[in-house]
Structure 1
Amino acid sequence: MMGKARYVAAAACAALLAAGAGACGTSVSVVTEGAAQGPTIAIGVAADQPGLGYLHGGEYSGFDIDVAKYVAKTLGYAEKQIVFKQLSPAMRASALTDGTVDMVVDSFSMDGTHDGEADVAGPYLTVREALLVRSDSASEITGTDSLSDKTVCAVAGSAADDNIRNRTKNTRTTVAERDTYPQCMTALMIGEADAVAADDAISAGLASNNTGDHLKIVDVPDTTWSYGIAVKSGQDELVGQIDAALRAMVKDGSWQKAAADMGKSIGYTPDASMNPPKATAKAPSSGASAASEK
């Protein structure tokens, strides 16, 4: 998307949202080679996370997609103006900095550092660290402290990738990176990996997408991280607007409906002691160790 110029003019919207007003706000003008392409908003999402961001039959679905649509509507965009762009975790920050997308709604951890490449609104979901293992290994792999001499597959650029590396750096654990969760699932099923590092929401989706009882989720209860919506660094006013939209989503019950739909889809229910989180543009300190997102 070289040569693309983007201009985000954020109008003051938080007060109107707090008062219960409807859509208001931002205009995102997209100009490519001098020709206006808008008005549209490009949102980076996952396509391989059932229940969160999943592409099937040409349609995107999942909790992250519901959140993205709600926020875009609140910012003034009709659904037909939303352009979803599939991103891998490793691509997210660069897609923001080079203008490929206007925001990222893709299980993006806001608890870590982003090297000045992104500002993050939220949180909109808080999850727990987890491992996905084969059922025949469940008695042997009971947590991150039982991974010595094991191989763990992690998706490059994900919060779980950094976190599992930090947890196992002084052990005989091999962390094998892949670009996507389906690649990690293949490694797990053919025995190239003993576990997949993820969180409990992503793990539930991956397990639900595989029939039978051959997979088990191993929770790591002492570590949590929060999902946020990332935008290009320096857009403080837009972050405030997104935070207001997320608070409105909880207040009017749309967040709860999206969470219930996720439960029906993949059997995952967010921990009520941590959810719905309050969007404040600053993630809560909720875990024993925070994920570091590159």
Structure 2
Amino acid sequence: MAHGMRNIAAMLCAVSIMIGTGACGTSISVVTNGQAQGPTITIGVATDQPGLGLLHGKDYSGFDITVARYVAQYLGFADKQVVFTKVIPSTRVSALTSGDVDMVVDSFAMDASYDDKVTFAGPYLTVRRDLLIRGDSADVISGVDDLDGKTVCTAKGGTYGSDMRNLAASVTVEERDTYPQCVTSLMIGEADAIVSDDAILTGLAADRGNGYLQVVGNPFGEESYGIAVRHGESELAGQIDAALKSMLADGSWKSAVRTMKQEIGYTTDASLNPPTVQRKD
């Protein structure tokens, strides 16, 4: 895929005047794939997280996808100018730094360990850390205190692996490229639990169906999802913040949350949501 950088400030200004977003004056260079007609914005998303970011055939769906589309429209891009591309936790930072994507919207936790790697806008959702287990393990694993001697699977590229080792000294952490790979490991007995946040885990459980997998429901911390851009792109992050504030104010965020609940049964924690968009520079 051939990539080129284009400054589209003029287009953003013109569109912002028409739709009243106030984006005039913003200068954003975006990646083009050589095939789209006109400038495009490339957004890295998950494609295997039911309820958040899922690709079925050629259709993208989920809460993160809805957020990404809203932000892109606010910035002045029509749907046909939005290019989604798959990222996984271990590739999302490199996808940004290489210029393959312009932003990442894939349940990316705003952890301090990324402060020198990306710039975050947001947050747009706050979730709780939890465990996913097989239904027949409910009487054995009721929280992180029951993980000593157990094997826990998580996705490479996140902070859950190191955090889990600190919480349970004798736990074995198995890191896979994707969460569906962790589900397979859990189902065949190679892993005793999957660690992530409850939104991701609820989607994985719902996708399996029939109660084979269940979220423990004993959270042990919180995470806030942010939208990541290349490190130092504060102007773009500020525009995304404005988009997220607009989404919260006009009811679109609540609508997206309701849809997520309908799709996977996930209920946001009302004590943590809706989040306050307050980016740290």
Q: What is the TM-score of this pair, normalised by structure 1?
A: 0.86
Alignment check: 8 A CA contact 2:110 2:226 kept: yes
Aligned amino acid, residue 120 of structure 1: F
1:110 alignment counterpart: 110
> Does residue 131 of structure 1 match 2:155?
no
Alignment check: 8 A CA contact 1:29 1:39 kept: no
SS in 1 for 2:99: coil
1:289 alignment counterpart: none
- Aligned pair in 2 of structure 1 residues 58, 32: CA closer, same or farther (>3 Å)? closer
Alignment check: 8 A CA contact 1:30 1:37 kept: no
Question: Aligned residue pairs: how many?
Answer: 277
Structure 1 residues not aligned, in runs of 5+: 284-294
Deviation at 1:163, TM superposition (A): 2.7
Alignment check: 8 A CA contact 2:132 2:201 kept: yes
- Aligned pair in 2 of structure 1 residues 208, 10: CA closer, same or farther (>3 Å)? farther
2:21 alignment counterpart: 22
Q: Which moved more, 1:237-246 or 1:158-167?
A: 158-167
Alignment check: 8 A CA contact 1:46 1:86 kept: yes
- Aligned pair in 2 of structure 1 residues 174, 78: CA closer, same or farther (>3 Å)? same
1:151 alignment counterpart: 151
Q: Distance in 2 between matches of 1:31 and 1:105?
A: 16
Alignment check: 8 A CA contact 1:105 1:228 kept: yes
1:231 alignment counterpart: 229
- Aligned pair in 2 of structure 1 residues 31, 242: CA closer, same or farther (>3 Å)? closer
- Aligned pair in 2 of structure 1 residues 40, 216: CA closer, same or farther (>3 Å)? same
Deviation digits for residues 147-205 of structure 1 (CA, Å, limit 9, x no counterpart): 0110001100124334323323xx21100010011100000000000001111000110
Deviation at 1:139, TM superposition (A): 1.2
- Aligned pair in 2 of structure 1 residues 216, 157: CA closer, same or farther (>3 Å)? same
Deviation at 1:6, TM superposition (A): 5.7
Alignment check: 8 A CA contact 2:205 2:211 kept: no
Structure of higher RCO (CA pairs closer than 8 Å, 6+ residues apart): 1
- Aligned pair in 2 of structure 1 residues 146, 11: CA closer, same or farther (>3 Å)? farther
Q: Which moved more, 1:204-213 or 1:27-36?
A: 27-36
Q: Distance in 1 between matches of 2:83 and 2:32?
A: 15
Q: Distance in 2 between matches of 1:7 and 1:117?
A: 23
SS in 1 for 2:112: coil
- Aligned pair in 2 of structure 1 residues 201, 10: CA closer, same or farther (>3 Å)? farther
2:122 alignment counterpart: 122
Aligned amino acid, residue 112 of structure 2: G
Alignment check: 8 A CA contact 2:143 2:218 kept: yes
Deviation digits for residues 76-134 of structure 1 (CA, Å, limit 9, x no counterpart): 00011000000111000000000000000000011332152210000000000011000
Structure 2 residues not aligned, in runs of 5+: none
1:85 alignment counterpart: 85
Aligned amino acid, residue 202 of structure 2: A
SS in 1 for 2:166: helix
Q: Distance in 1 between matches of 2:226 and 2:254?
A: 17
2:265 alignment counterpart: 267
Q: Which moved more, 1:249-258 or 1:36-45?
A: 36-45
